Structure 1
């Protein structure tokens, strides 16, 4: 059983393929899989179809079989899918099954914080992964990005860099960095040599002007990495 036609389409070249779904995405998956196999069908498992009139015409134009019955049993050999049996007694042989039930976006926290989502429920972000609420960021499958782990990981890195940069700019705007610098200069004058910057961060007085402590910690990592 597969989820991504872009990742796994090449694995099922020339095989009998079933697309599980009942919305526009299922039709588009079926059409896309025609590049890999001439034997592609859609199975809805008895669900009422929700594809558009345009997608319905594509099904007719490209002669895609649609099984609208409920699936009663899945036949297999070992770990391999081999057959779908329906509740009306009919069967169809398959060698690969792709699921397209749609995405579920876990956006409750973001929405409670006031962040906007699109009509599908995806959290709206800019190119740097900022949401519509200052100080709230989002990455991965809750955003309009393609839902793949490698993309989510890259977005996470982008969001982290954005947070670091935003905190640094805030520390300049609120003059919080100046207080940190004062501690540095006092220490240099007293000891003649720099201390570990994490020790300095812990010694810096707390401030109500922005996220001073977090900003210092973020910049500490940047200083440490750059030497």
Structure 2
């Protein structure tokens, strides 16, 4: 069986694409990985997604979007994508226990925030540990927070957090920051930002329901100390989930999929990309959803306009 469209990923981008393609009678197949719903399933309350004046829980928002896609006819299958054969059409998508052929593919596999891998970190995501200052900074109004990292993103997020937090401490394992001079200067000129350099985080401390502190080690002396804090923001970068492509779709030097400006078209005709997998700047649920809409429309126009497709072989 050859499908018209297969969507890889079930974050805001993939589910929005599924809603649009299903409403267009394209009968999309949506392949979800072991953590359906993307990064929003790790978020407690979402207050910046339009249409929810009182906010909505991240998992609930994603569940609603999935139900909406299913209502219009999208079909969901579970599997970890391992490869896509782009040498011929229809494309062959390989996943655990699945071989699916499709005339088009929308890649919305997202990007994963890099974590430190220290004790107490992962289990406290949503309880004071965050990887997105723009998403969660508002919840720390008047509180003390720590941001871990030394690059441009960390400096940018540290400055952003000072709009809400009473104090922002930057913790970095080296004395020297990796951030550009202009970003360092902006952070150092901000009176709300303090510095914990040459310190290695070793454990996130929690009272069970929320973060209470960050245990760090002074690199020169190996002395340990606890930084009391209400929130910990990890800003050491993101990793696009594109390893399964094996170079068959053009990406930039950090692995994000390249798309034609103003579209979601990739280097391979019939394959489209949306959401964080092609966006290393904004990384917001609403922008991901917007590109999901774009991908569905680009995909639909491609399918309707390609005379070479033998529709007798499709659903």
> TM-score, normalization: structure 1?
0.68
Question: Which protein has greater RCO, CA pairs closer than 8 Å, 6+ apart?
Answer: 2
- Would the aligned equivalents of 1:19 and 1:26 in 2 still touch at CA under 8 Å? yes
Distance (whole Å) between structure 1 residues aligned to residue 181 and residue 237 of structure 2: 19
Relative to structure 1, the CA distance from residue 162 to residue 72 in structure 2 (aligned partners, 3 Å threshold; closer, same or farther) is closer
Residue 278 (structure 2) aligns with: 143
Q: Which runs of structure 1 show a deviation greater than 6 angstroms over 4 or more consecutive aligned residues?
A: none
Q: Which ranges in structure 2 are unaligned for 5 or more consecutive residues? A: 1-128, 218-222
The Cα offsets for residues 22-74 of structure 1, whole Å up to 9 and x where unpaired, read as 21100110000111023011112459631112222223211422212112333
SS in structure 2 of the partner of residue 161 of structure 1: helix
| RMSD, matched Cα | 2.5
Aligned to 2:297: 161
CA distance in structure 1 between the partners assigned to 2:182 and 2:312 by the alignment: 52
C-alpha distance in 2 between matches for 1:111 and 1:92: 42
C-alpha separation in 1, matches of 2:190 and 2:143: 18
Distance 1:17 1:85 in 2: 13
User: For the Cα contact (< 8 Å) 2:150–2:172, is it kept in 1?
Assistant: yes
How far off is 1:150 after superposition?
4.7
Give the number of the structure whose residues are more often helix, by fraction.
Answer: 1
**Paired residue for 1:112, among 233, 243, 247?**
247
TM-score normalized by the length of structure 2: 0.51
The count of corresponding residues between Structure 1 and Structure 2 is 178
In 2, distance between residues paired with 1:214 and 1:141?
35
> What is aligned with 1:67?
196
Partner of 1:28: 156
| 1:140-179 Cα deviation digits (max 9, x unpaired) | 21112632345434433432222221121112xxxxxxxx
Corresponding residue to 1:43 among 154, 168, 171: 171
- Determine if contact 1:167/1:215 at 8 Å carries over to the other structure: no
Pick from 173, 179, 186 the counterpart of residue 58 of structure 1: 186
Q: Structure 1's 212 and 48: CA in aligned 2 closer, same or farther, altered over 3 A?
A: farther
The 8 Å contact of residues 22 and 47 in structure 1, kept in 2 or not, is answered as: no
Q: Contact 2:134 / 2:157 at 8 angstroms: preserved in 1?
A: no
More strand by share: 2
Q: Greater shift after overlay, 56-65 or 43-52?
A: 43-52
Bigger CA radius of gyration:
1
